[in-house]
Structure 1
Amino acid sequence: MTTLNPLTTRTAEPVGPPPAAASPAPAQAAAQPAMSLRLGMGLVGMLLASLLAIVNEQVTALAMTDIRGALSIGHDDGSWLTVLFEAANVSTMIFAPWFGITFTLKRFTLAAVAASMVIGLLCPLAPNLSTFYVLRVLQGIASGCLPPMLIIVALRYLPPKIKLYGLAGYALTATFGPSVGTPLVALWTEYVSWKMTFWQIVPFGLLSCAAIQYGLPQDALKLDRFRSFDWMGLITGGPAVAMLVIGLLQGDRLDWLNSPFICVMLFGGVLLFVVFLVNEWFHPLPFFKLQLMYRRNFTHGLSTLVAAVMLLVGVAVIPAQFLARIHTYRPLQTAPLSLLVAIPLLVTLPLTAALLNTRRIDSRWVMASGLSLLATTCLLGSYMTSEWVRENFYWLQSLQIVAQPMVILAILMGVTTGLPPTEGPFASAMFNSLKAFTGVAATALIDGLGTAREHFHSSMLVDHLGNNALITNQSIDAIQGIGQLAHRVHEQAVVLTSADLYRVMAMIAIAALLLVPVLPVRIYPPWSTTPPSPR
């Protein structure tokens, strides 16, 4: 397994693992089962569980119109169904790896999947809105336990030769999962019932439980870890992240810092999170092992992960919002955009893993190529017009088929290379929590910046029309024309706002691209044990 010294190795130097890493300690070798069909089924079960959590996360956002209609609630009440789930989901990811190791990966994952299914069955049957809120919070906790388990299992059980392919499976949760969620929700809401958007997880959950029960080894309980339980981390980290998530997702609706509630959520959350980080640095058995940040590639991976998640959210949300607001598309009509990316990823992800598993390929330049494609996508999208329909976005989305695997897999390779299995839970907690929180921050950025820019463009367009004295006739016909003109102004403001958001995404991609030649060091595939001979 590759090792990496981020404190002494210069960026220009190729970093390869020392020959001694080729012969692991007997205890370590014995602890890692050989790869078999049975273990492979267990890993597939873990992947299904993680995808189930990702799809379940999108339900209330994508089916909100139908849910609000069925429950007879307004926009404000409906927004809390998504916000409460996200707050519970992101907060749980901090602590899930610790509990997964303590109660064993197999038991903990099975319990989380079972809880997700049972609560999913109950959600549409809730007798009132308050009960629905409570069920979504509980389901958020259960779903937040699942994605972190997948990366721990991949690091622990996969042999070096196929480790990158296992990480490609994990990458599906960041790429394929969100893309396939839209078509599934659209299918149920259009042709069956909104209740099926919650119940759809049951068959996948049963398959996942069967595969995990059959395939994963059963470890011994480690309840003695509770003697060193990080109580301060629990009571500061969970509320801190929950408050930040609530503040970000409700900020645009409540006018950000003009709302005392949002101020308390954001500033209180930041203060608690600082206390949490200080505690984690000194605690003997923390949830976050901040010392991992000494690894240059780990730090770079987390930094680039923020940019990558922002971009993945942006290139999915911007066209969907544009088509919904300009051409009144429903989720079923935007589903082909998601499927265009999702289905080919099943091929491009393993192909990218095979490319990175080649010794001669430098993962840094694979990542740089992917970021360049993402930046190109966003820059081209900034030239949209009001005449653009779904087909105009196909050629932009097709670039994502290649770009997303190149970026995500290169990040995962940089973060996990040289990481011993014992540190996998710490890396998983930090990686998954940051990924989920960045998704929330990206949504808040798009909503907040989108609202501000739309107001700006609307004001500028109206001022321009007024200065040119285009509206002078007060006749009945002119009043009708004013209504049409107002619609046209709104339409152009939405177009200009979407173009601005694409430009912001392009700037994020370029910023991440500039880090590639500076921060990370050269690494080699996990199976590689000696650096290449100089030529």
Structure 2
Amino acid sequence: MVDIKPFVGLGGVLIAAMTSEFNDQVTGIALIDVRGALGISHDSSTWIESLYVWAEIVGMAISPWLAMTFTLRRWTLFAIALCGASSVLIPFSPNIEAIYALRLLQGLAGGLIIPLLMTTAFRVLTPNIRLYGLAVYALTATFTPALAATVTALWTDIVDWRIVFLEAIPLCSLAGVLVWYCLYQDQPKYERFRMLDWRGVLLLVIGTGALSTMLYQGNRLDWFNSSLICVLALVSAFAIPLLLVNEWFHPLPLLKLQMLGRRNFAYGALGLFLFLIISQSGSTVPLRYLQEVQGYRPLQSNLITLEIAALQLVMLPAMALLLDYKRVDSRLVSVAGLGLILASCVGSSFLTVYWNRDQFYVWQLLQAIGQPMVIMPLLMMTTNTVAGPAEGPFASAMVNTSRALAEATGAWFLELIDRWRNALHSDRIIDEAGQDRWRVIQSNGVLPQYPPLLLPDGQPRVPKSLEAFQHVVEQQVTILSTSDTFLILAALTVFMMIVVMTLPVRTMPPRIHLAKQ
């Protein structure tokens, strides 16, 4: 008789991982409402996301090592407790400093939990059903981020903004109960602390903290015109190479860099990094367009991402079933999926001022179908390179650290495009408008008459025509920049297609591949 308790325990870890993803994604979307309710300024609120991602990167790198030391069950329960406690206290924080501290703990908890899902799947699932376990892990990369907009709309527009944080209470409680009763208890290995990679931990905290903070705060602080950004860039430039050297030579490292020598594993780390930038940006950009140009609230715009989330529940198991056939080449499935994502990005780039939610449905449908076709083969090719259960935690740390870095890089990438293309389009539109006015002056021979520039009380007055002109310019700049963003994402998708066709080698389904070992 099959023991189902470990599978139920895996379900508990999945619930915890989805909760941590909600803590990240839902809070980011609802940040305007949270900021208004707590009286936080815009500049201060940028640190709420920045600190979370920094702690998340650290957590993802160290969690598998600590899970092997304290045992998977105990460490998972600790991470779930930390996630729930830090989330619940945020709405009742007395000041911004307390929010920052709790957000750091919340990000650390999220980083600790997500790698445990892959580690648990390696331990619980046999090769015959491993593909379905990978589909479970893929839910946190495709399903949960897409569902975040709907959850945000439910809490902020219908219930109460505090539920953005208080939702962790029932979810973490359920996850904790399932893990407590269904995951088996191993013997701890405290002797591993004698070989603790303390230099690696220190360099990890310093290097990734400097890098993620620079990526999140650089645009706001005008990049290298800010002394803080210059210092952060210098620190990350020294600390991260030292971290890589230390991890390469340490006998019990946090990150086993030697695994990157396997072509399929190298593809997994690089491919997941690129895929998450493309997929999450592809969903974020339409929401941002609807908010800035059409004035949508989350309740009005969430259906385009809910479409992606709903299809993941069908497509991920279907991809697991398809990839289990020996004749199916996972690389070709990935290329086909990237082709659909490419079509989605190119199609979305034709947006105009008349586009609303309805025009995005078809292109988001292509995203919803293409994303599982990329992530499932990627995970299969990556995990098939893992030699045995002992390498599982190292593989989890490498893959998930790449995943955490993708979030910070994706935020920087979109801000870079906005800064670059917004300035270009704004200058061109203003220049064209100025040339048109000069042509009118030349043809009429007189300057147009403007209303007085001051009101009776001496306050400056902006003519309504100029207000309307400014609104039209801002609208057109946003539309053109959004179109450019989709085209740049399309180019990044083409690059990933080239990587898929050149870097990985063909692999068989786990039930065949692992049977040969």
| Superposed pair shares fold, TM > 0.5 | yes
Residue in 2 aligned with 1:474?
Answer: 449
What CA distance in whole angstroms lies between the structure 1 residues aligned with 2:216 and 2:513?
46
Aligned residue among 438, 442, 456 for 2:406: 438
Structure 2 partner of 1:506: 490
Partner amino acid, structure 1, of 2:338 = L
Q: Deviations over 1:64-98 (max 9, x none)?
A: 11222122221001111111111111121111110
Aligned match of 1:129 in 87, 92, 96? 96
How far has the Cα of 1:293 moved from its partner?
Answer: 0.9
Kindly indicate whether residue 67 of structure 2 is the aligned counterpart of residue 100 of structure 1: yes
**1:524 maps to which residue?**
508
Query: SS of the residue aligned with 1:517?
Result: helix
2:460 maps to 1:485:
no
TM-score for the superposition, normalised by structure 2:
0.94
Partner of 1:161: 128
The CA distance in 1 between the partners of 2:304 and 2:344, in whole Å, is 14
Q: Alignment partner of 1:252: what SS? A: coil
Partners of 1:49 and 1:183 lie apart in 2 by 19
Deviation for aligned residue 1:451: 2.0
Identity of matched residues, %: 38
* Distance across 2 between alignment mates of 1:87 and 1:197: 21
Q: Distance in 1 between matches of 2:272 and 2:381?
A: 11
2:352 aligned partner, one-letter code: T
Compute the displacement of 1:266 (Å). 2.4
Query: 1:323 aligned to 251, 265, 290, which one?
Result: 290
Distance 2:259 2:484 in 1: 36
CA contact (8 A) 1:450 1:497 kept: yes
Query: Per the alignment, in what secondary structure is the counterpart of residue 528 of structure 1?
Result: helix
In the alignment, structure 2 segments of 5+ residues that lack a partner are 441-446, 453-461
Structure 2 match to 1:120: 87
The answer for the alignment partner of 2:170 in structure 1 is: 203
What's the CA shift string for 1:263-313, capped at 9, x where partnerless?
A: 211231131011000000000000111110110111112222122011112
Contact 2:418 2:481 in 1 (8 A): yes
Question: Contact between 2:276 and 2:406, CA under 8 Å: does it hold in 1?
Answer: yes
**Which stretch shifts more, 272-281 or 436-445?**
436-445
Tell me if structure 2 keeps the 8 A contact 1:148–1:428.
yes
In structure 1, distance between residues paired with 2:498 and 2:52: 35
CA offsets 1:98-150 (integer angstroms, 9 cap, x no match): 00111111110111111111121111111111111111111111111000001
Match of 2:11 in 1: 44
Q: Which residue of 462, 465, 474 maps to 2:430?
A: 462
Q: Distance in 2 between matches of 1:251 and 1:142?
A: 26
Structure 1 residues 176-222: Cα deviation after superposition (integer angstroms, max 9, x where no partner):
11111221122111122211100011111111111111221111101
Deviations 1:386-429 (A, max 9, x none): 11101111111011221111111111011110312211111111
CA contact (8 A) 2:264 2:385 kept: no
- 1:531 offset after TM fit, Å? 11
Across the aligned residues of Structure 1 and Structure 2, the Cα RMSD in angstroms comes to 1.7
Letter in 2 for 1:469: R
Question: In the alignment, which residue of structure 1 is the partner of 2:273?
Answer: 306
What TM-score results when the alignment is normalised by the length of structure 1?
Answer: 0.91
Where 1:286 maps in the other structure, the secondary structure is coil
Structure 1, unaligned stretches of length 5 or more?
Answer: 1-33
Tell me the secondary structure at the aligned position of residue 402 of structure 2: helix
1:7 counterpart residue number: none
The aligned residue for residue 3 of structure 1 is none
Q: Which amino acid aligns with 1:474?
A: Q
In 1, the alpha carbon distance for the partners of 2:154 and 2:92 equals 20
Q: 1:230 to 1:35 in 2, by over 3 A?
A: farther
Aligned partner of 2:457 in structure 1 is: none
Match of 2:256 among 289, 312, 316: 289
User: 2 CA distance for matches of 1:132 and 1:51?
Assistant: 22
Residue aligning to 1:451: 419
Q: Can you list the C-alpha shifts for 1:201-255, whole angstroms capped at 9, x where unaligned?
A: 1111111111111221111101010011101101101221111111101111111
**Equivalent residue, structure 1, for 2:199:** 232
Cα offset, 1:360, TM superposition: 0.8
State the AA in 2 paired with 1:499.
S
Equivalent positions of 1:199-278 (< 5 A) are: 199-278=166-245
CA distance in 2, matches of 1:515, 1:64: 36
Structure 1 residue matching 2:368: 3-state secondary structure: helix
1:379 aligns with 2:325: no
* CA distance in structure 2 between the partners assigned to 1:474 and 1:358 by the alignment: 76
